[in-house]
């Protein structure tokens, strides 16, 4: 077959497609739409000369000349199939050529803001022209909806990679006699500080095995210039990874799944680990790949791989001879394009799954972050729900909301029973009337179909008397009214309202008094432990204990009390680590100076995020000490972050989390005095919390939260039925 | 006023003038000059004028189009864009600057559209509309939960008693839908259209300024919604209420045509200016329609040529997944092929509108006029039926020819079908046809068309079934006709081939059958995945 691959630049994602199509015996020409140049073509192509005006910006939205050029490009090559890769290529093909094509979008292609009108135009053109778009995972489906997609969303097809040369060559590396060498493959453009934090964390792991970890940009494994020189992806990537014995894929990029696919070859499958980003987590599920984790858990997984001397160094494998007929990647690609699907179909796992339909609603969409309380909570809860069986995800953005709720209504109308609808609000009320109206209908339909539902209330700060979130009284009033309407819809439409903890629930009831007198049913739903973040807790060997302070700096965070306390601790038994945002380092130094700690060798300041924090040897104790009224009914997410890291923690007795800490035995509580803090820390340094933390990881996991929620909902349902009986 | 001579004498005079002209053009240069001087001395009579035209090589019926148009017959020469540029530079800057300006214009239009919301409600008018729609739904007798759903057709004009000529072929389509068992709603939308509900020939129709269409769209999820002759007005009326509907847009021709294609129709620079503005507006409109989330799942064109031409005219691309070609249906039962007697090759028929020059009435006048100068003229019998601004050219050119009957009037479909029985050749020159329905109807009846290979025409005819000439080329048409006159077998062969071609390409099965399947009027195989809508356009 003759295939035209239209690209948006050239990186491993495209290059691997070229390799596998070549290996299957196809003739592949490659034209880069972004730079308007041929990267590969047959000598006789009638559009072989690309005039300069093809690159002219003005022709983008109007120009028969450019349309004519693209027609010549496509028709002149007499191609059997046209495949576009990336947004620029898809947009160009959609704008300039009427011929049907297979549009592939990669992770990250849709991560652009509205301030990028060119990309927005490309996507608008693509979705207008392409009845279906092939995306890498459901998270990308969400993004496509948010960008206004009118197309059906299908998943990328599997590419056979058996014909590719393995990217890592452990035997050659072993011959050098050095320890393991880890390639930390990262997205190009990843913030340097964050990347360095990963490198240090993973290097520390490698160091334990006599090796090193170095960063390598995923995109650098194949560049545009390699395509211009007609080089193969596997040749170039394996050359650039020469000497590396193992790999860790961190972050996410358009190239990550291609590289992960290639690394999944039998010779290297047990030599790499993957960060559990949303996208790569989806990839791992599809590939049946289990070595995924986030933050420090990633380091632990690498440690396990190195411990097991992962991968036998069985000779430098050449390229396998594979029969083209067996593994032609064009076959599934064509099948995906030709399979009859309705206009707005989405290849969601929830639709093909059996059993009652579960729904996850969140005001704000999922974010691929391992920091931030709200994003982590939303993501972890969504993933926990998926463990019961895939759920349909819905967000408040009208474009996403309308299409997904339409889908849910349709499935329910078709007779599938409703399961669990779990919803989370945000710190601000939903600003879209259509979404609020739609939620009301959705809750009613779900209840009608026999489903159970719950609505998590993050906070009601806008009801606080002295809340200063808006200056304009009229706007403030409008904001409050909108929030109350949202709460009323949720309170009446769902079976249960959820608060971060019991104290929060009581606090919310108090705030609602005088505004909404309805007696809603409340329950607590604190944040929980995500297995992907969980590092095995180790009992600290006798010796120095590290006190970890992670968070903001200021009186709100009880800094003075904490610093006074630690200065009173025995000098040779404790070290003090501070994890703060870069902007707060100066402030912290001021506090430290005030307490005579600025030059103290026991003090270490880092601006790394908590997830990649590599603890020092010995035990580590975390602290969650908040000095405000808010703390009395809040459940700081840091609490579970510490638990995930395996650190016992200290908190004030009157904080809402005190009971959580005490009942699980995962730390200690103290009074709001420096003496009490110091006393508690000293006592904690002598205690082994390992077993309690292990237990709490199970009892306080997101899965157990869901189990408890299900039980509560069943009870509420039974109660309602009893009450309804005459 | 010149005294009028009896017909046969005038005819002989015209033939003499033609013969003199032909002979004079063959004379050597100096002799010609002497003759010219003598000619100038002749009195100013009709004979002199005919002779003058003959000497210049033009026939008596020479088209007057160039002198009537705003741009004469010449396009603007590139050199007038600046003597210091090369032709390549001129072409490039014209295109790129135009593209740049359009890009800015469309960006502004997009912003304006985004700021615009649905029109505000007028409770009194809304109540009246709801009442009319209730009345209409009762009149149509459609059931909400009918199998196969209901199809909505939106159109700018529809026939009614006393006004039978409005978009007759949309009406024919709907009759086919009904025949196939579909429930159909028809709504006429126009800025000046009075609200009403009526039945015409078994079809229930509701009319109004757009509120009625919106109310219908809000009330139910139609199996299909299709619009014919959609312009800015109709689109603005319905676009906010298309959510969830499966919308089809039928592109007949003028909706998305660039002004240059009908340059010959403009008589003043003002008309040209207005036409350019109209084109640019339409380019903005179709961009908006194409990008609309509930815009057409299919743009349906009457010919592939028109699909391509419309793309070029609107400077955009209709994706393959969203465009379809469905020819206008030719009623092969009405325009039935009956084998022709060979003698009918001399019987020429022209039936079309001469309201503009698209359909080349002036070319037809020229062809007939020049046939008059041939030996076949006396064997020829021609009939001209039509009306319009340019129809007078037939009347003045052939008022004295007994073998040419010129009738200024419209003819009904039934009458045309009967006329087809009596004639063997359909004279149908053209400058612009997105299909050419009257030609196809004539072909279906077995008439051999004489036409030009311009616009969509080659998609529907070839030289096995038609006399073909390049655009504007009356000579080639005459030569083709003469071959037909001289070869009765050829005529009979072409006649049969014409009927066969139309039956195959534009008969009901190839057109309406396809349309019914496209709109889901008949049952179709569906491979729906779970959670799929009941009716949506194919997107493969």
Place of tokens 């973040």: A533
SS3 assignment for A499-551: ECCHHHHHHHHHHHCCCCCCCCCEEECCCCECHHHCCCCCCCCCCCEEEEEEC
Q: Return d(Cα A257, Cα A722) in angstroms, integer.
A: 52
pLDDT at position B522 is 60
CA B201 from centre of chain: 25
Dihedral angle computed from the Cα positions of residues B284, B285, B287 and B288, in that order, rounded to the nearest 10 degrees: 120
pLDDT at position B21 is 53
Please give the CATH superfamily to which domain B342-506 belongs: Glycogen Phosphorylase B; (3.40.50.2000)
Q: Write out chain A residues lying below 8 Å of B99, CB-based.
A: 56, 58-59, 61-63
From the number of C-beta atoms within 10 Å of its C-beta (0-12, 13-18, 19+), residue A676 rates as middle
**Nearest CA to CA, how far is B269 from chain A (Å)?**
26
Q: Write out chain B residues lying below 8 Å of A94, CB-based.
A: 317, 319
The mean pLDDT of A534-555, rounded to a whole number, is 80
DSSP for residue B320? G
- pTM of this prediction? 0.85
Least CB–CB distance from B532: residue in A58, A65, A345: A345
Q: Return d(Cα B50, Cα B11) in angstroms, integer.
A: 12
Q: What are the start-end ranges of the H helices in A147-212? A: 170-175, 192-208
pLDDT band at B534; cut points 50, 70, 90: very low
B261 lies within 8 A of chain A by CB: no
Dihedral angle computed from the Cα positions of residues B352, B355, B361 and B362, in that order, rounded to the nearest 10 degrees: 170
Q: For B245, which residue in chain A has the nearest alpha carbon?
A: A343
pLDDT at position B490 is 97
- Checking if the pLDDT of A265 tops 80, the result is yes
pLDDT band at A514; cut points 50, 70, 90: confident
Encode pLDDT of B174-219 as tens digits: 999 999 889 999 999 999 999 999 999 999 999 999 999 999 999 9
pLDDT at position A342 is 84
Q: Write out chain B residues lying below 8 Å of A56, CB-based.
A: 96, 99
**Nearest CA to CA, how far is B304 from chain A (Å)?**
12
CA angle A549, A554, A555 (to 5 degrees): 105
**Nearest CA to CA, how far is A338 from chain B (Å)?**
6
Pairing of strands B203-208, B196-200: antiparallel
Encode pLDDT of B270-285 as tens digits: 999 999 999 999 999 9
The mean pLDDT of A238-263, rounded to a whole number, is 95
Encode pLDDT of B109-127 as tens digits: 888 877 776 666 778 888 9
* A56–B96 CB contact, under 8 Å: yes
Higher pLDDT, B517 or B21: B517
Q: For B291, which residue in chain A has the nearest alpha carbon?
A: A128
In this structure, are residues A134 and A336 in contact, taking their beta carbons and an 8 Å threshold? Answer: yes
The mean pLDDT of B482-503, rounded to a whole number, is 97
**Nearest CA to CA, how far is B322 from chain A (Å)?**
7
Q: Write out chain B residues lying below 8 Å of A67, CB-based.
A: 311-312, 315, 317
Probe site for chain A from B517, B530, B537 (most A CB atoms < 10 A) = B530
pLDDT at position B523 is 38
**Nearest CA to CA, how far is B296 from chain A (Å)?**
10
Q: For B100, which residue in chain A has the nearest alpha carbon?
A: A58
Least CB–CB distance from A63: residue in B99, B530, B538: B99
pLDDT band at A93; cut points 50, 70, 90: very high
**Nearest CA to CA, how far is B27 from chain A (Å)?**
49
A668 lies within 8 A of chain B by CB: no
Whole-Å CA distances, B12 to A450, B18, B402: 96, 10, 13
pLDDT band at A724; cut points 50, 70, 90: confident
Backbone angles phi, psi at B211, to 5 degrees: -60, -35
pLDDT band at A57; cut points 50, 70, 90: confident
pLDDT band at B524; cut points 50, 70, 90: very low
- Checking if the pLDDT of B463 tops 50, the result is yes
The mean pLDDT of A616-641, rounded to a whole number, is 85
CA B6 from centre of chain: 40
Q: Write out chain B residues lying below 8 Å of A352, CB-based.
A: 529-530
Q: Return d(Cα B463, Cα A174) in angstroms, integer.
A: 77
Give chain A's mean pLDDT: 90
The mean pLDDT of B489-493, rounded to a whole number, is 97
pLDDT at position A471 is 75
Least CB–CB distance from A96: residue in B290, B317, B323: B317
Encode pLDDT of B76-86 as tens digits: 777 778 889 98
- Chain A from 115 to 144: CB within 8 A of any B CB: 124-125, 128-132
Strand partners, A620: A546
* B539–A151 CB contact, under 8 Å: yes
Do B128-325 and B342-506 show the same overall fold? yes
- Checking if the pLDDT of B30 tops 70, the result is no
* A67–B527 CB contact, under 8 Å: no
Least CB–CB distance from A124: residue in B291, B319, B322: B291
Which residues, including other chains, have CB under 8 Å from residue A426's CB and lie 6 or more apart? A362, A363, A364, A374, A396, A458
Output the CATH code of domain B128-325: 3.40.50
The mean pLDDT of A261-265, rounded to a whole number, is 93
Tokens of A202: 């993973």
- What are the extents of the domains in chain B? 7-81, 128-325, 342-506
CA A344 from centre of chain: 25
Q: Return d(Cα A649, Cα A684) in angstroms, integer.
A: 9
Q: Write out chain A residues lying below 8 Å of B113, CB-based.
A: none
pLDDT at position B22 is 52
A409 lies within 8 A of chain B by CB: no
pLDDT at position B29 is 55
In this structure, are residues A578 and A261 in contact, taking their beta carbons and an 8 Å threshold? Answer: no
- Checking if the pLDDT of B532 tops 80, the result is no
- Checking if the pLDDT of B65 tops 60, the result is no
The mean pLDDT of A701-726, rounded to a whole number, is 88
Higher pLDDT, A65 or A681: A681
- Checking if the pLDDT of A551 tops 70, the result is yes
pLDDT band at A312; cut points 50, 70, 90: very low
Probe site for chain B from A128, A141, A346, A412 (most B CB atoms < 10 A) = A128
- Checking if the pLDDT of B299 tops 90, the result is yes
pLDDT at position B169 is 81
Q: For B91, which residue in chain A has the nearest alpha carbon?
A: A65
Q: Which of A375, A371, A393 is nearest to A137 (CA)?
A: A393
pLDDT band at A417; cut points 50, 70, 90: very high
Q: Write out chain A residues lying below 8 Å of B315, CB-based.
A: 62-64, 67
- Checking if the pLDDT of A437 tops 70, the result is yes
Least CB–CB distance from B315: residue in A64, A94, A411: A64
pLDDT at position B125 is 86
* B319–A128 CB contact, under 8 Å: yes
pLDDT band at B539; cut points 50, 70, 90: very low
Which residues, including other chains, have CB under 8 Å from residue B354's CB and lie 6 or more apart? B361, B386, B387, B388, B389, B390, B391, B393, B394
pLDDT band at B264; cut points 50, 70, 90: confident
pLDDT band at B26; cut points 50, 70, 90: low
Q: For A411, which residue in chain B has the nearest alpha carbon?
A: B531
Give the Cβ contact number of residue A214 at 10 Å.
14
Encode pLDDT of A187-231 as tens digits: 999 999 999 999 999 999 999 999 999 999 999 999 999 999 999
pLDDT at position A623 is 92
């Amino acid at each position: 077959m003759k295939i035209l691959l239209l690209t948006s630049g050239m990186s491993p994602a495209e290059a691997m497609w070229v390799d596998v199509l070549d290996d299957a015996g196809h003739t592949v020409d490659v034209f880069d739409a972004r730079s308007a140049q041929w990267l590969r073509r047959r000598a006789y192509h009638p559009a072989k000369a690309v005039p300069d005006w093809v690159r002219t910006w003005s022709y983008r939205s109007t120009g028969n000349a450019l349309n004519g050029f693209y027609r010549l490009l496509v028709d002149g090559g007499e191609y059997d199939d046209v495949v576009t890769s990336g947004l620029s290529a898809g947009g160009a093909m959609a704008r300039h050529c009427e011929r049907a094509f297979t549009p592939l979008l990669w992770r990250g292609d849709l991560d652009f803001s509205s301030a990028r009108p060119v990309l927005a135009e490309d996507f608008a053109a693509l979705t207008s022209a392409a009845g279906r778009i092939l995306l890498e995972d459901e998270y990308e489906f969400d993004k496509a909806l948010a960008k206004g997609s009118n197309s059906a969303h299908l998943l990328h097809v599997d590419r056979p990679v058996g014909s590719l040369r393995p990217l890592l060559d452990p035997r050659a590396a072993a011959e050098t006699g050095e320890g393991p060498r880890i390639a930390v493959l990262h997205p190009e453009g990843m913030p340097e500080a964050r990347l360095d934090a990963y490198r240090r964390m993973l290097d520390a792991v490698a160091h334990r095995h006599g090796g090193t970890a170095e960063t390598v940009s995923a995109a650098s494994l194949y560049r545009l210039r390699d395509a211009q020189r007609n080089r193969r992806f596997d040749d170039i990537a394996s050359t650039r990874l020469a000497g590396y014995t193992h790999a860790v894929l961190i972050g996410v990029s358009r190239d990550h799944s291609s590289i992960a696919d290639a690394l999944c070859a039998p010779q290297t499958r047990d030599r790499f680990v993957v960060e559990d980003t949303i996208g790569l987590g989806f990839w791992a599920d599809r590939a049946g790949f289990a070595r995924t984790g986030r933050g420090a858990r990633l380091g632990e997984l690498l440690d396990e791989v190195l411990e097991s001397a992962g991968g036998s160094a069985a000779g430098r494998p050449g390229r396998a001879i594979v029969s083209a007929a067996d593994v032609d990647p064009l076959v599934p690609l064509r099948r995906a394009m030709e399979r009859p699907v309705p206009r707005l179909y989405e290849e969601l796992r929830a639709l093909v799954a059996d059993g009652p339909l579960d729904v996850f609603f969140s005001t704000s969409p999922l974010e691929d972050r391992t920091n931030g309380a709200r994003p982590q909570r939303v993501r972890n809860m969504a993933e926990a729900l998926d463990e019961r069986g895939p759920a349909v995800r819905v967000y408040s953005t009208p474009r996403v909301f309308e299409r997904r709720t339409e889908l849910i209504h349709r499935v329910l109308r078709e007779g599938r029973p409703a399961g669990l609808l779990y919803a989370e609000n945000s710190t601000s009320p939903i600003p879209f009337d259509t979404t609020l109206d739609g939620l009301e209908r959705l809750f009613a339909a779900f209840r009608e179909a026999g489903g159970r539902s719950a609505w998590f209330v993050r906070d009601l700060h806008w009801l606080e008397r002295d809340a200063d979130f808006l200056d304009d009284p009229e706007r403030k009033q409008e904001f409050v009214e909108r929030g109350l309407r949202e709460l009323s819809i949720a309170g009446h439409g769902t079976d249960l309202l959820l608060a971060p903890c019991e104290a929060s629930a009581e606090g919310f009831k108090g705030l609602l008094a005088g505004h909404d007198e309805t007696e809603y049913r409340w329950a607590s739903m604190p944040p929980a432990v995500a297995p992907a973040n969980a590092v095995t807790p180790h009992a600290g060997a006798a010796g120095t204990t590290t006190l970890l302070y992670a968070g903001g700096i200021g009186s709100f965070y009880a800094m003075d009390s904490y610093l006074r306390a630690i200065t009173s601790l025995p000098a040779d038994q404790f070290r003090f680590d501070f994890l703060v945002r870069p902007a707060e380092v100066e402030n912290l130094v001021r506090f430290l100076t005030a307490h005579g700690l600025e030059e103290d060798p026991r003090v270490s300041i880092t601006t790394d995020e908590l997830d990649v924090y590599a603890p020092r040897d010995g035990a580590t104790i975390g602290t969650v000490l908040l000095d405000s009224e808010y703390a009395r009914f809040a459940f700081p997410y840091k609490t579970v972050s510490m638990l995930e890291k395996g650190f016992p923690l200290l908190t004030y007795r009157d904080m809402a989390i005190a009971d959580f800490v005490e009942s699980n035995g995962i730390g200690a509580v103290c009074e709001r005095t420096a003496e009490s803090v110091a006393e508690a820390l000293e006592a904690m340094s002598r205690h082994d919390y390992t077993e309690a933390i292990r237990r709490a990881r199970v009892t306080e996991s997101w899965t157990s939260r869901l189990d408890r929620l299900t039980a509560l909902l069943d009870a509420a349902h039974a109660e309602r039925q009893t009450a309804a009986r005459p | 006023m010149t005294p009028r001579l009896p017909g046969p004498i005038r005819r002989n005079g015209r033939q003499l003038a033609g013969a003199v002209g032909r002979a004079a053009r063959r004379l050597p240069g100096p002799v010609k000059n002497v003759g010219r001087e003598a000619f100038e001395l002749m009195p100013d009579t009709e004979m002199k004028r005919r002779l003058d035209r003959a000497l210049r090589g033009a026939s008596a019926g020479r088209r007057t189009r160039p002198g009537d148009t705003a741009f004469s017959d010449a396009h603007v020469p590139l050199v007038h864009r600046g003597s210091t540029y090369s032709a390549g530079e001129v072409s490039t800057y014209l295109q790129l600057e135009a593209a740049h300006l359009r890009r800015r214009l469309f960006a502004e239009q997009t912003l304006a559209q985004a700021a615009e919301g649905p029109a505000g409600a007028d409770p009194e008018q809304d109540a009246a509309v709801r009442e009319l729609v209730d009345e209409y739904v009762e009149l149509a007798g459609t059931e909400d939960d009918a199998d196969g759903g209901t199809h909505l057709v939106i159109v700018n004009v529809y026939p009614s008693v006393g006004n039978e000529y409005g978009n007759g072929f949309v009406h024919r389509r709907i009759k086919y839908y009904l025949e196939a068992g579909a429930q159909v709603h028809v709504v006429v939308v126009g800025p000046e259209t009075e609200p009403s509900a009526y039945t015409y020939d078994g079809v229930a129709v509701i009319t109004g300024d757009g509120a009625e269409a919106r109310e219908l769209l809000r009330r139910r999820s139609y199996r299909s919604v299709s619009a014919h002759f959609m312009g800015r007005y109709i689109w603005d009326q319905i676009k906010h209420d298309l959510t969830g509907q499966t919308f089809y847009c039928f592109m007949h021709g003028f909706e998305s045509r660039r002004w240059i294609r009908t340059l010959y129709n403009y008589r003043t620079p003002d008309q040209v200016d207005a036409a350019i503005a109209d084109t640019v507006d339409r380019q903005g409109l179709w961009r908006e329609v194409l990008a609309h989330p509930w815009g057409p799942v299919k743009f349906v064109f009457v010919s592939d040529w028109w699909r391509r031409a419309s793309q070029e005219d609107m400077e955009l691309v209709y994706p393959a997944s969203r465009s379809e070609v469905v020819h206008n249906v030719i009623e092969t039962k009405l325009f039935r092929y009956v084998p022709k007697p060979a003698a009918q090759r001399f019987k020429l028929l022209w039936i079309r509108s001469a309201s503009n020059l698209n359909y080349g009435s002036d070319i037809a006048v020229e062809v007939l006029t020049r046939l008059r100068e041939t030996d076949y003229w006396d064997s020829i019998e021609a009939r001209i039926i039509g009306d319009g601004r340019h129809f007078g050219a037939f009347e003045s050119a052939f008022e004295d020819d007994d073998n040419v009957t010129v009738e200024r009037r419209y003819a009904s479909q039934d009458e045309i079908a009967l006329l087809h029985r009596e004639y063997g050749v359909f004279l149908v020159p053209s400058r612009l046809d997105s299909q050419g329905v009257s030609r196809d109807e004539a072909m279906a009846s077995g008439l051999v068309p004489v036409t030009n290979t311009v616009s969509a025409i080659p998609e529907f005819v070839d030289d096995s079934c038609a006399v073909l000439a390049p655009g504007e080329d009356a000579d080639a048409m005459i030569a083709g006709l003469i071959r037909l006159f001289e070869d009765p077998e050829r005529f009979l062969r072409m006649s049969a081939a014409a009927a066969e071609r139309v039956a195959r390409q534009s008969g009901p099965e190839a057109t309406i059958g396809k349309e019914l399947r496209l709109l889901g009027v008949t049952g179709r195989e569906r491979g729906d995945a779970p959670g799929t809508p009941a009716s949506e356009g194919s997107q493969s």
